[in-house]
Amino acid sequence: MTQENSITKQDNKPALKKEDTIFDLIEKSKPQIALAVPNSMNPDRLARVFVTELRKNPKLMACDKMSLISAMMQIAQLGLEVGAMNHIYLIPYGKECQLVISYRGLVSLVLRSGQVKAVNCQCVYEDDEFDFQMGTDSFLKHKQKLDSTGKMIAVYAVATLADGTKTFDVMSIQEVEKIRERSRSKDSGPWKSDYAEMAKKCIVRRFCKMLPTSAEAQELASQDELVDYGIKKTYKDAIDTESKSLDEEVFGIN
C-alpha cells in the first residue's frame, strides 16, 4: 500500500502507526493538504513552514501528533500563512495544538470578499493626540508621538469599503483587558509576547461583525471568541457548521 493510500477515507486523516513520527505523518498528509489549500498556496511550502514552526518550539513537538496534523489541515482549509506572515499562531495547551488567528489573519479573510478594500489598525498611547466621535457626524483623529513612553489607552480599526467610504471602531484598553482576562492563555503565548498585536485582533474581531464581508470571516471571528473561552472547537467547525453564538455556548442564553 502506498503512503498516499494510507490516508483513511472516513476522516481524511493519515493512518497512524505507532512508529510514525510527526514528520512521517506530515509527509503522508500532503495529498490531503493539496486538496484543501486554495490555488494560491503551495502545499509543499505549507508543510515546510509548518515543520519549521514546530522545530522552534519544543512544547509544540510534545503535542499529540494528530492534534498537530489537525492544526495543519485547518491552516490549509483557511488558506492562511503560519510563520513570517503571522496570520496564525500555534499555541500548545498541554498536549493539544491550538490555532490562534492573528489580526492580520482576520484582515486577510475580510479582504477576500472584495467588499472591503483596506483595513488599518493602530494602537493609541497616552502621549498621542487622539479624538473621535461616533454618530451621524462621526470622525477619528490620531496624531502619533513617535517617541511616546506612555501606556496604551485604546486601539482602533478603520476600513475602506469598495465604494471608497470609510468606517471605524474604537476599543478602550479596559475593554481589551476584559477580553484578555477571560482568555485561557491570558498570561502566555501572544498575549505575553505580542500584546499590541492581540489588542488589534480584539478590535478587528469585533469590527468583522459590522463589515460587509464574507460569512466565513464573520463566523471565524465568532469562533475565535469561543476559543478564548476555552470551548473546544476547531476552525473547521466554524466553516462547515452553523456555530452556536457566544451567548448560547457560554451563558446558555437562547
pLDDT tens-digit map of 105-127? 888 888 888 889 999 999 999 99
Residue pair 235/221 in contact by the 8 Å Cβ criterion:
no
Residue pair 169/208 in contact by the 8 Å Cβ criterion:
no
- Report how far apart, in Å, the C-alpha atoms of 173 and of each of 55, 203, 243, 247 are: 34, 10, 29, 23
Q: What is the pLDDT of residues 45-104, one digit of tens each?
A: 888 889 999 999 999 999 999 999 988 988 888 888 787 677 888 888 889 888 888 888
For residue 190 the three cell numbers come to: 501572544
pTM over 0.85: no
Q: What is the pLDDT of residues 8-47, one digit of tens each?
A: 444 455 555 556 788 888 888 888 888 888 777 888 888 8
- CB count within 10 Å of CB 163 equals 7
Residue pair 143/129 in contact by the 8 Å Cβ criterion:
yes
